[in-house]
Each structure stands twice: as structure tokens, then as C-alpha cells.
Amino acid sequence: MNESFGGDVSPTFDRVTNDHVSRAEAVAHQVSELIKRQHPTPGARLGRKSDLRAQFGVAASTLNEAIRLLESRGLVETRPGPQGGIFVAEQSAQLRLSHLILALDSNSLSVSDALEIRNALEIPLAAHAAIRADREGLARLEAILARMGELQDDPAEYLRQNWHLHEEIARMSPNEMLRTIYISLIDTAREALKNVAADPHFRNSWRDNWELHRELVDAIASGSPGRARIAAERHAPYSERLTDTMS
């Protein structure tokens, strides 16, 4: 990755090679890491969609999903027109808080600390999602859930998709502070656990975890915040157990 950019000079990025959802996450990760390391001036140009798509070697739908992830995190903005493209966004107070959480090292915020806070926040977020989820958002949840159902032999990828599902649920909340803190906590756990060994017995227990996520998505789709809260409460202890097997 060429990280030098500014003015009319756009950065270059490495191609990604994983499956569709992970490819979008990989694109978003490269861009967010570049922004965190270089602290570019708001308005710095990352490139046109066509240029970025060619650099990353991804389909238009994958790049669009990555841009949506980055926009939801307050990192980039899209501008139309001949001089348009993808630009670094002005940092909000919520984004600065997100960076503060991500900057905490393992001595001040352990993975278990992050997940304990995350689990507490899941209950109101699930209720918000039940109220605000639209057809497109529910379709994204169903697609991720279907992918999770194929991963009984790949616990590491299952955990990544699990977190991706919960990020999508969090993005449905109208509470910007709540969803920013929640997603930042997931990012903290993801960074800490990305190279851990998986439990060889995961295949024997993954179905129970998947069914809890099925229940959670169904509760959100029902439009009942009360039902969604109950499903999120049931999910929390299983979430801790799944992460424990990966550490």
C-alpha cells in the first residue's frame, strides 16, 4: 500500500482476495487503517470509485458495501460530479471517541472488558433495530446469517461474520453515540482476536449459537422491540462462550 497522499495525489491500495462480505470488510479495513495512521486533512481525496475498484480488484457491489461501512463510521464521504469521488470526512466527536477506544491497549481495556460492555449495549440496539429495520437492512441480516450457517467448519470466519451481523444491527440505531461506542468495541475485540487459535470442538456447539442469532434476526424482523430485547438478553451468555473458545 502506498500511503502518501494529499492534494491531487491519491493513495494506492492492495488487492483483496477473500469472500464477498469479508472482501468488503478488507477494503474498509485498509482505508480506515490508512486514515488512522496518517490523519489526513478532511477533504483529502482517496480516489474515484472506478480507480478504487480496480486497485482493490473487487466488484462494484463489494466496493459500494465497503464505502457504506466507512461512511457509517464517519470516515469517508462521497461527492458526485467530474471532480468527485471518495474523500476523507471531517471527524465528528463520535469518531474521535471511537479512535480513543481503539487506542486503548490490552492493559487498560481487555477483550473481556470490551465484550462485557458490548453485550450490555446489544439490548437497546436490538430494540432500536426492531423499530427501524427496513427491507434492505433485513435482507443484509439474512445474507450474513445464511453465510454463518455455512461455517460450521470455520470458527474464525464464523466469529467474523457474527460480529459483522451485530455491526449491521447497530447501524440501524438512531443513537449515534451508542452505535459508535458499540462498533468501536467490536473493532477492539476483532483486532485482539484476529490471530487466535480456534476451539477444535466448535463444530459440536455452533448450531446453538446460530439458532440464537436466527431468533434475534426474527425478533428484529417482527418489529417488536420487546421481543428483540428478550432475544438479545438470551444471546449475551452464548456470545461470551463463543468468544472464550476463540481465545
What's the pLDDT at 107? 46
Class of domain 93-246: mainly alpha
Class of domain 20-88: mainly alpha
Sheet strand arrangement including 85-88: 45-47, 85-88, 76-79
Which range of 28-32, 51-55, 90-94 scores highest in mean pLDDT? It is: 51-55
CA dihedral 80, 81, 84, 90 (to 10 degrees): -50
With cell 502518501, the residue in question is: 4
Considering the chain, what is the average pLDDT of its residues? 79
Residues 6+ apart with CB under 8 A from 18: 26
Sign of the four-CA dihedral 189, 157, 24, 118: negative
Which residues pair with residue 85 across a beta bridge?
79
CATH 1.20.120.530 domain position(s) in the chain: 93-246
What's the pLDDT at 186? 80
CATH 1.10.10.10 domain position(s) in the chain: 20-88
What's the pLDDT at 4? 44
pLDDT over 60 (residue 149): yes
Helices 111-132 and 225-246: crossing angle, nearest 10°?
A: 150
Instruction: Compute CA distances 117 → 17, 64, 178, 200, 242, whole Å.
Output: 33, 30, 11, 27, 16
User: For 37-81, what is the HEC assignment?
Assistant: HHCCCCCCEEECHHHHHHHHCCCHHHHHHHHHHHHHCCCEEEECC
Residues in the chain: 247
